[in-house]
Amino acid sequence: MPTYNIVLLPGDGIGPEVVHETRLVLEDLAPAFGFNIQFETHLLGGCAIDATGHPLPDETLAACRAADAVLLGAVGGPKWSDPAASVRPEQGLLGLRKGLGLYANLRPIKIFPQLIDASSLKPEVLAGVDMLVVRELTGGVYFGPRSEAGEQRSEVGGQRSAYDTMVYSAEEVARVVRVAARAARQRSGRLVSVDKANVLASSRLWRTVTTQVMAEEFPDVELEHQLVDAMAMHLIRRPADFDVIVSGNLFGDILTDEAAMLAGSMGMLPSASLGSGPAGLFEPIHGSAPDIAGQGVANPLAAILSAAMLLRHSLGQESAARAIEQAVERALQAGYRTPDLASVAAPDQTIEVVGTQAMGAVVREYLRSIPN
């Protein structure tokens, strides 16, 4: 019976609450599917700043590098949001991605039929939406050369200015496109690449490399190019037309949050950050929600669904991953809702509003009834 080492990074705000419920799900699940899990818990984000003065302690990074997978809750909050602060919780997350070599972020956007009314879009627009957005994580404008804001002076009028540089190498583009193309090959065989090639030199490189990689390595996958501004409109007007989407760091950051709202609540959406090996970082896409932290009302389903992605992508436990996803869907079908989804129900459905722990318990109950 294999044993896997998973590092838990509860983080800040509601992070510890949703990670705790996810751990309980994994502990229930593992024996039934023939494997063991050993957990380690470490600091990341604001709690790490408070304890050590650094958002990513060396001990945390070392443990994550040695793990089979990492599960993160959330980082950040107003306590650490001073613009003048030299260290911020989000620096820990960026450093962790870089330190683990995680260059591809996968965000599945699937509309649960039971929650279709949670979205601000018309139900007929959302029918059939099931897409995967692959975002490049360690390059582009977030990591390119930059000035410190306010320290650079322009030649016109002595006004202060700052700059951030969008830089991509051909290999950085090629490796994330390969991740997206492999996913597209396993799904519908269609891939959309998003750039701004009509304006940006880095995007022209992106488009050239993408076209070459797809032609040489994935001729069986249909490739389409979209400019990012057009893609932003298409995601609202005809989201069901898209399956796998790949984009750079900045554009992907914006588009994934836009796509997240198709589902009506960030509390339902998981993510995976992957590199060249099987070990990855898995986290719900929602933030730390400090306004509800400690109240027992946070939605744990995005974190639990992130554990399903962890099982699938890092541990190779596909049956266990599907079992979690089925258990979550059964909980929704039965009418269980956390407060963020309290108003979402089918016309003939009675809903029961439950807290974080109760929702976790419901998922575990349904999980026990799913054959392995």
pLDDT of 330 higher than 90: yes
Residue 131 and residue 104 share a domain: no
Query: End of a domain among 263, 298, 317?
Result: 263
pLDDT of 115 higher than 90: no
Residue 269 and residue 255 share a domain: no
Query: End of a domain among 263, 278, 305?
Result: 263
Query: End of a domain among 263, 295, 325?
Result: 263
Residue 58 and residue 133 share a domain: no
| Percent over 70 (pLDDT), the chain | 96
Domain count, the chain: 2
pLDDT of 151 higher than 80: no
- Per the annotation, the verdict on 340 as an active-site residue is no
> How many helices (DSSP H) and strands (DSSP E) are in the chain?
12, 14
Those residues whose C-beta lies under 8 Å from the C-beta of residue 265, and which sit 6 or more positions away, are: 115, 118, 299, 340, 341
- Per the annotation, the verdict on 257 as an active-site residue is yes
Q: What is the pLDDT of residue 156?
A: 54
Catalytic member of 117, 130, 164, 253: 253
- Per the annotation, the verdict on 164 as an active-site residue is no
Confirm if 192 and 231 have CB atoms less than 8 A apart: yes
pLDDT of 153 higher than 60: no
pLDDT of 265 higher than 70: yes
Q: What is the pLDDT of residue 341?
A: 87
Residue 128 and residue 205 share a domain: yes
> What's the rounded mean pLDDT across residues 205-227?
98
**Strand partners for 352:** 336
Residue 99 and residue 145 share a domain: no
Residue 256 and residue 278 share a domain: no
Q: What pTM value is reported for the model?
A: 0.90
Catalytic member of 117, 142, 164, 243: 142
Q: What is the pLDDT of residue 150?
A: 47
Domain holding 95: CATH number?
Answer: 3.40.718.10
- Which of 158 and 329 is assigned the larger pLDDT? 329
Residue 167 and residue 147 share a domain: yes
pLDDT of 227 higher than 50: yes
Q: What is the DSSP letter of 274?
A: E
Query: How do beta strands 270-274 and 104-110 pair?
Result: antiparallel
pLDDT of 152 higher than 50: yes
Inside any domain, residue 113: no
Confirm if 152 and 143 have CB atoms less than 8 A apart: no
Measured from the Cβ of residue 158, the count of other Cβ atoms closer than 10 Å reads 7
- Per the annotation, the verdict on 103 as an active-site residue is no
Q: What is the pLDDT of residue 157?
A: 57
Inside any domain, residue 45: yes
Inside any domain, residue 114: no
pLDDT of 169 higher than 70: yes
Nearest 5°: the CA angle 306, 268, 79 is 85
- Whole-number Å distance between alpha carbons of 225 and 14: 38
Measured from the Cβ of residue 211, the count of other Cβ atoms closer than 10 Å reads 14
Query: Where in the sequence is the domain holding 40, given as residue range(s)?
Result: 1-108+265-372
Residue 131 and residue 222 share a domain: yes
Those residues whose C-beta lies under 8 Å from the C-beta of residue 58, and which sit 6 or more positions away, are: none
* Region of 57 on the Ramachandran plot (φ > 0 left; ψ -120 to 50 alpha; else beta): beta
pLDDT of 160 higher than 90: no
Catalytic member of 196, 336, 340, 366: 196
- Per the annotation, the verdict on 253 as an active-site residue is yes
Those residues whose C-beta lies under 8 Å from the C-beta of residue 22, and which sit 6 or more positions away, are: 71, 300, 303, 304, 306, 307, 360
- Whole-number Å distance between alpha carbons of 351 and 346: 9
Catalytic member of 220, 229, 241, 291: 229
Inside any domain, residue 115: no
Could you identify the residue written with the tokens 């490399």? 209
- Whole-number Å distance between alpha carbons of 249 and 26: 31
CA-based max dimension of the chain: 71
Catalytic member of 58, 241, 257, 291: 257
Residue 274 and residue 256 share a domain: no
- Whole-number Å distance between alpha carbons of 355 and 270: 19
